Amino acid sequence: MQALTNRSQGVSRKPMSFMERLYIPAILKGMAITFSHIFKKKPTIRYPEQKRPFSPVFRGLHVLNRDEEGRERCTACGLCAVACPAEAITMEAAERLPNEEHLYREEKYAAKYEINMLRCIFCGLCEEACPKDAIYLSETFAPANYTRKGFVYGKEELLIPDPKTNPEGYAAAKGSK
Amino acid sequence: MSEQQLFKVTIDNITIEVPAGTTILNAARKIGGDVAPPAMCYYSKLEGSGGKCRTCLVEVSKGSEKDPRPMPKLVASCRTTVMDGMEVKNITSEKVIDARAGVVEFLLLNHPLDCPICDQAGECHLQDLSYEHGKEGTRYEFQRRTFKKHDLGPYIQLHMTRCILCYRCVFTADQLTKKREHGVLDRGDHAEIATFIEKSLDNDFIGNVIDVCPVGALTDKTFRFKNRVWFLKPVDAHRDCPTCSGKVTLWNRGDEVFRVTARKDEWGEVENTEDGKPGWICNTCRFEKKKTSDWVIEGPRMINRHSVISQGHYAGKIGMHKPTETFEAVNDGRKPQLLMDIHSVSEVNKPEVQLSLIDGPAHSQVFNQNKD
């Protein structure tokens, strides 16, 4: 068969020389390589305690954003759901009542908002489609879970903490974006 | 009508013969496609409509065979009748494209652009128009004109801020009903569609003002905020209605009827029924028959492939009936051992919350009362 590259080498069937038959030098050579690695810089980190910074374009778990006054930005326009290639997003809209103006930014809001994280492919198209800056992908992973139920995220899981009552939580969830 | 004279008219280098008295817009619509100028106020089923929005402006480069001089200005094609040998430029004219962009900018001056909230989004003519002919930005620097939300009777919501004053609804109310109770009050920037002293509009056909409205100024209160049109499945259906033709389009989600509208043709106008009359529908059909059992389903409605409404929908009979469950057939008659009921996991689309059956828009109580 014709070789595809010229890098392959045939197996050498020559009898071993005296030095090779001793084995000790080869063992020492291997040990030297092993020991030298002790003094090299470690490429790994101790993960749960130490974390690497995320790339600025990292797309992680979704966050439903609030404005500066802590009102929900989402108006349930459905553009994220129609943009979603995995059909992971569903929602139900409701009209804001006169006494709910401190809760919702616009006249209409998402009473229910769900993302099925088993379906989501973290492509970020929902973030791109959103006309209200209401949804974006944060710098966290979707945590593991034992049941499928735990992967359907509702508004309780997705909403960012209120910047007025919980500014630290808000800043942490918002990340560097 | 048989001896009627036929005029030869050339629109964007396409020649067509139309009877005398036809407007340029209707001649262009006979050719169809991109040649037809957009129209926001003209509505072929309403007498006297047209001539207000100026989106249908075209250039007449040759007046007629006898008088070949071009018309000095762009003309509104919905109000200008054709002459023999007329040559019209629509999309082939730089002037028209430029003028149309200007008209769109004017129409959007006071438009709130609240499309994410507006129920008309996805089937809004102004949205289509601004995407196709508009410019990206506006040069307007002042506060936009605002009005309060207004109820026109129990079923119709008026958002005057979105109105472009096309007068279509006024003509509809005038021509379909015996007594008109709403009109345009005030002048200039203050002009608004209003009922006379908050009089509610209670006429059997008043719901048609929702269908003729090219923007989201008049919307269906029974559908308000319940769903987006592109998540609904348009289905042709009919029922035996004593007051109207009963031929409608249902906008379904699953088996739930979210909205009932008249059937609309490619120009966004109400389709004619078999007897050649416009297929206006009555309020009972539109607002009160929100159950599948009220209707005889004919088949899926064909929607333009480029519309957002047909996103994720399939042509033909797919999606009209439930697919048969094949699990038992391929598994020697055994039922699946584990099946996840989506309602046990998801809060959305709960079977006990029938959004399509509540009267107005959903409020927080609707969702909260089912929580406990």
- For residue A85, the chain B residue with the least C-alpha distance is B312
Q: Is A164 on the interface with B (CB under 8 A)?
A: no
Q: Using the 8-state DSSP alphabet, how is residue B288 labeled?
A: I
The answer to whether the Cβ–Cβ distance between B121 and A77 falls below 8 Å is yes
| Domain extents in chain B | 6-107, 115-137+145-224, 226-338
Q: What is the mean pLDDT of residues B207-236?
A: 91
pLDDT at B327: 84
Q: Between residues 99 and 158 of chain B, which touch chain A (CB distance below 8 Å)?
A: 114-117, 121
Chain A nearest C-alpha distance from B76 (Å):
34
Residue type, B141: E
- Tokens read off for B159: 């958002």
For the domain made up of A62-174, the CATH class stated in words is alpha beta
Residue type, B233: K
The answer to whether the Cβ–Cβ distance between A92 and B349 falls below 8 Å is yes
Q: Which CATH number is B115-137+145-224 given? A: 3.30.70.20
Q: Tell me the binding residues of A for [4Fe-4S] cluster.
A: 74, 77, 80, 84, 120, 123, 126, 130
The answer to whether the Cβ–Cβ distance between B117 and A107 falls below 8 Å is yes
Q: Is B358 on the interface with A (CB under 8 A)?
A: no
- Tokens read off for A78: 């459905």
pLDDT at A152: 92
In A, which residues are within 8 Å of B258 by CB distance?
A: none
Chain A nearest C-alpha distance from B353 (Å):
11
pLDDT at B320: 62
Q: Tell me the binding residues of A.
A: 74, 77, 80, 84, 120, 123, 126, 130
CATH 3.10.20.740 corresponds to the domain B6-107: yes
How many angstroms separate the first and last alpha carbons of chain A?
Answer: 56
Does the ipTM exceed 0.85?
no
- Tokens read off for A163: 């910047």
Tell me if A114 sits within 8 A of A156, measured CB to CB. no
More confident residue, B372 or B110: B110
In A, which residues are within 8 Å of B308 by CB distance?
A: 82
Q: What is the mean pLDDT of residues B208-235?
A: 91
HEC readout, A135-177: EEECCCCCCCCCCCHHHEECHHHHECCCCCCCHHHHHHHHCCC
pLDDT at B258: 92
pLDDT at B343: 86
Query: Would you place residue B78 in the very low, low, confident or very high pLDDT band (cuts 50, 70, 90)?
Result: very high
pLDDT at B317: 55
Beta strands in chain B (DSSP E): 6-11, 14-19, 57-62, 75-76, 86-89, 149-152, 156-159, 182-185, 192-195, 218-220, 233-238, 247-253, 256-262, 296-300
In A, which residues are within 8 Å of B116 by CB distance?
A: 75, 77, 79, 106, 131-132
pLDDT at A85: 92
Residues 6+ apart with CB under 8 A from B100: B38, B55, B57, B133
Comparing CA positions, the residue from B281, B260, B40 lying closest to residue B163 is: B40
Query: Would you place residue B372 in the very low, low, confident or very high pLDDT band (cuts 50, 70, 90)?
Result: very low
pLDDT at B48: 87
- For residue A106, the chain B residue with the least C-alpha distance is B117
pLDDT at B318 over 60: no
Contact pairs from chain A to chain B, CB under 8 Å: 80
pLDDT at B309: 86
Query: Would you place residue B197 in the very low, low, confident or very high pLDDT band (cuts 50, 70, 90)?
Result: very low
HEC readout, B139-154: CCCCCCCCCCEEEECC
Portion of chain B with pLDDT greater than 90, in percent: 40
Q: What is the mean pLDDT of residues B1-26?
A: 88
pLDDT at B181: 65
The answer to whether the Cβ–Cβ distance between A78 and B228 falls below 8 Å is yes
Note the maximum CA span of chain B.
83
C-alpha distances (whole Å) from B270 to each of A66, A114, B156, B213, B370 are 42, 37, 18, 11, 39
pLDDT at A80: 94
The answer to whether the Cβ–Cβ distance between B347 and A93 falls below 8 Å is no
How far apart (Å, rounded) are the C-alpha atoms in residues B336 and A44?
A: 45
pLDDT at B160: 87
Q: Is A148 on the interface with B (CB under 8 A)?
A: yes
In B, which residues are within 8 Å of A76 by CB distance?
A: 225
Q: Give me the residue from A75, A87, A91 closest to B348, CB to CB.
A: A91
Picking from A79, A92, A99, A153 by the largest number of B CB atoms within 10 A of its own CB, the best residue to mutate is A92
How far apart (Å, rounded) are the C-alpha atoms in residues A159 and A171?
A: 13
Which tens digit of pLDDT belongs to each residue from B158-187?
888 998 988 888 888 878 877 666 677 777
Q: What is the CA B235 to chain-centroid distance, rounded? A: 16
Picking from A77, A97, A147 by the largest number of B CB atoms within 10 A of its own CB, the best residue to mutate is A77
The answer to whether the Cβ–Cβ distance between A106 and B117 falls below 8 Å is yes
pLDDT at A177: 62
Query: Would you place residue B321 in the very low, low, confident or very high pLDDT band (cuts 50, 70, 90)?
Result: low
Query: Would you place residue B58 in the very low, low, confident or very high pLDDT band (cuts 50, 70, 90)?
Result: very high
Q: Is A94 on the interface with B (CB under 8 A)?
A: yes
Which tens digit of pLDDT belongs to each residue from B145-158?
888 887 777 888 88
Chain B nearest C-alpha distance from A176 (Å):
27
pLDDT at B303 over 60: yes
How far apart (Å, rounded) are the C-alpha atoms in residues B37 and B25?
A: 7
Chain B nearest C-alpha distance from A119 (Å):
14
How far apart (Å, rounded) are the C-alpha atoms in residues A174 and A32?
A: 48
pLDDT at B148: 83
How many angstroms separate the first and last alpha carbons of chain B?
Answer: 70
Q: What is the mean pLDDT of residues B118-138?
A: 90
How far apart (Å, rounded) are the C-alpha atoms in residues B105 and B53?
A: 12
Residues of chain A with pLDDT under 70: 177
| Domain extents in chain A | 62-174
In A, which residues are within 8 Å of B254 by CB distance?
A: none
Which helix (H) or strand (E) segment holds residue B205: the answer is none
Q: Is A158 on the interface with B (CB under 8 A)?
A: no
Q: What is the mean pLDDT of residues B89-94?
A: 92
pLDDT at B271 over 80: yes
Residues 6+ apart with CB under 8 A from B32: B266
Q: What is the mean pLDDT of residues B317-340?
A: 77
pLDDT at B1 over 70: no
